[in-house]
Chains A and B, each alone.
Chain A
């Protein structure tokens, strides 16, 4: 755990009370770090636990969830802290951006009021007029034209992309040290996606904010993130700098994900879908959770859960990490 780390999650587990008294484990030991100014891409298929991981950071999960392990923010433990303590962190030192800007804003408050409210929650010495002034400034920061007029409008008068800018303005209103963006561009058009990502990157660079980008879009991660973590069935299976992972990942799942993406530099007749579906939380396979869908699985993968292993900058949880390079080179050569 380095001194300069902003957020350091280690051994985080999240489980939900299921029906019939059972527990469903959504996150099974996640260890990851974010430095100030760093953009971390957290990717994975739906239901792999990426959102649950980030919601656990500020304990935004429903009461039925229990959180284990440790989340340190600037060295301070967040797991198991009181609601009162967490309220002081939420929206103040850690900002959150949600997926769907159409539903994240309160329809009955003007955009300016909502941003101002977020400011006044954390600083009662600010008058509502001052807060409104800051809200207008924030709208300007997120590149909303004629911010003063826009601040007096209601969310329904904004387009999706503009609303997401408003949501971002709310998230950065109190100069947080860390932003958590849960699929910030999923609900938007591709062109708007690019604008929003550019905005987020610019803000992080300017304010030395850490950003955790939860997404299932590898393109977004490739364009914006410094490091990326690939999650599968509640664990991080592949973690390292984006360049290293995208070009020479040592995990067959990451390779398979990349293989399922269309490419501009090569003519691909048919995309390689990953066979099967992600495991349900109630029935996570023994050994490596990915083995039923993995083309490289051997007996050991079926019985023994792979430990995290470091390969230079990359951290991989796979028994056969050494063979991945060769395996996929051969396959690509064939096709």
Chain B
């Protein structure tokens, strides 16, 4: 207790979790979110229209160069966030929902239900995520929506497992026993005394997973299972770049975009973890 209150006073000026990487991560995420909503007002060119010569290297007219069709890579990279971020939000959101519900049920009810859910989790997690996502997308047909569904199928078990572990730990806490002793029903105990205490690792993991999902979505597009041309999508742009290997700038723009967003969410997740669990350091 004394440790926590000591850090609380220190937090008055600069919270301990607010390190340079966390601030950088937050700035980058804010930038991308801002771009997501406003890019059509300030992007230099329309992402699907000709914006100059084919294959022109970075220069004054096209800061990050143009691609094989003469489209502006900077504009396409900026517009790319309109594919990646909403997909990541949707995939993480759905995965968390499914995973949390199933994980909580498994942890709280135990027995056969636990066994069935956790074996499904084990089976899913035993595949490399990209492989399973590829297989599912391929069977559903290419396209961003199907890729998103595939990613949810690959990703929910992570949260189910996390949630189950949390529920198992929290249900042994004394305040849960006290709630039982006060005559509370099982549903009330689960929703009021167990679940609210289980969120912090889920939040931290979900934040970090944003980056992973952006990457996975780009990977699926890269191999042609995600976004369909001419949609500006990072993975797909990189795969175009791979066709023209010596024109490095074609892949550089979307590459930097992916790098920045993955890094930013990792930094942010680290900061969140320090903030939500001061003891983890």
The answer to whether A and B interact is yes
Task: Report which A residues bind B (CB closer than 8 A).
Answer: 58, 60, 87-92, 96, 98-100, 102-109, 117-118, 121-122, 156, 167, 170
Q: Are B197 and A60 in contact (CB under 8 A)?
A: no
Q: Is B24 an interface residue (CB 8 A)?
A: no
In the complex, chain A residues whose CB is within 8 Å of the CB of B175: 103-107
Shortest CB-to-CB span from B258 to chain A, Å, is 37
In the complex, chain B residues whose CB is within 8 Å of the CB of A118: 182-183
Interface stretch of the complex, out of B53-61, B84-92, B114-122, B185-193:
B185-193
A-B contacts, 20 of them at CB < 8 A, read A88-B183, A90-B181, A91-B184, A92-B183, A96-B182, A98-B174, A98-B178, A103-B173, A104-B175, A106-B175, A106-B192, A107-B197, A109-B192, A117-B184, A117-B192, A118-B183, A121-B183, A121-B184, A170-B178, A170-B182
CB-CB contacts of B203-229 with A at 8 A, as 1s and 0s? 000000000000000000000000000
Q: Are B193 and A106 in contact (CB under 8 A)?
A: yes
Q: Are B183 and A91 in contact (CB under 8 A)?
A: yes
Shortest CB-to-CB span from B149 to chain A, Å, is 34
In the complex, chain A residues whose CB is within 8 Å of the CB of B173: 103
Shortest CB-to-CB span from A270 to chain B, Å, is 36
Give the CA-CA distance A92 to B183 in the complex, in Å.
7
Shortest CB-to-CB span from A334 to chain B, Å, is 46
Q: State which size class the interface on B falls in.
A: 10 to 19
Q: Are B181 and A108 in contact (CB under 8 A)?
A: no
Q: Are B177 and A98 in contact (CB under 8 A)?
A: yes
Sorted from nearest, which 4 A-B pairs have the closest CB atoms? Answer: A91-B182, A91-B183, A90-B183, A96-B181
Q: Are B181 and A87 in contact (CB under 8 A)?
A: no
In the complex, chain B residues whose CB is within 8 Å of the CB of A103: 173-175
When C-beta atoms are compared, the residue in chain B nearest to A100 turns out to be B174
Shortest CB-to-CB span from A89 to chain B, Å, is 7
New A-B contacts (7) at CB < 8 Å, excluding given A58-B181, A106-B192: A60-B181, A87-B183, A91-B181, A99-B174, A103-B174, A117-B182, A122-B183
Q: Is B275 an interface residue (CB 8 A)?
A: no
Give the CA-CA distance A156 to B5 in the complex, in Å.
10
Within 8 A of A (CB), among B152-208: 173-175, 177-185, 188, 192-193, 196-197
Q: Are B174 and A60 in contact (CB under 8 A)?
A: no
In the complex, chain A residues whose CB is within 8 Å of the CB of B182: 90-91, 96, 117-118, 121, 170
The residue in A92, A100, A121, A122 that gathers the most chain B C-beta atoms within 10 A of its C-beta is A121
When C-beta atoms are compared, the residue in chain A nearest to B8 turns out to be A156
Q: Is B1 an interface residue (CB 8 A)?
A: yes
Give the CA-CA distance A87 to B241 in the complex, in Å.
67
Q: Are A121 and B188 in contact (CB under 8 A)?
A: yes
In the complex, chain A residues whose CB is within 8 Å of the CB of B181: 58, 60, 90-91, 96, 98
Q: Is B6 an interface residue (CB 8 A)?
A: no
When C-beta atoms are compared, the residue in chain A nearest to B176 turns out to be A106
Shortest CB-to-CB span from A11 to chain B, Å, is 24
Q: Is B20 an interface residue (CB 8 A)?
A: no
Shortest CB-to-CB span from B175 to chain A, Å, is 5
Question: Which one of A104, A109, A117, A121 contacts B174 once the chains associate, using CB atoms below 8 Å?
Answer: A104
Give the CA-CA distance A152 to B174 in the complex, in Å.
22
Give the CA-CA distance A122 to B178 in the complex, in Å.
15
The residue in B178, B179, B192 that gathers the most chain A C-beta atoms within 10 A of its C-beta is B178
When C-beta atoms are compared, the residue in chain B nearest to A92 turns out to be B183
Q: Is B4 an interface residue (CB 8 A)?
A: yes
Shortest CB-to-CB span from A132 to chain B, Å, is 16
When C-beta atoms are compared, the residue in chain A nearest to B182 turns out to be A91
Give the CA-CA distance A102 to B183 in the complex, in Å.
21
In the complex, chain A residues whose CB is within 8 Å of the CB of B4: 156
Shortest CB-to-CB span from A91 to chain B, Å, is 3
When C-beta atoms are compared, the residue in chain A nearest to B4 turns out to be A156
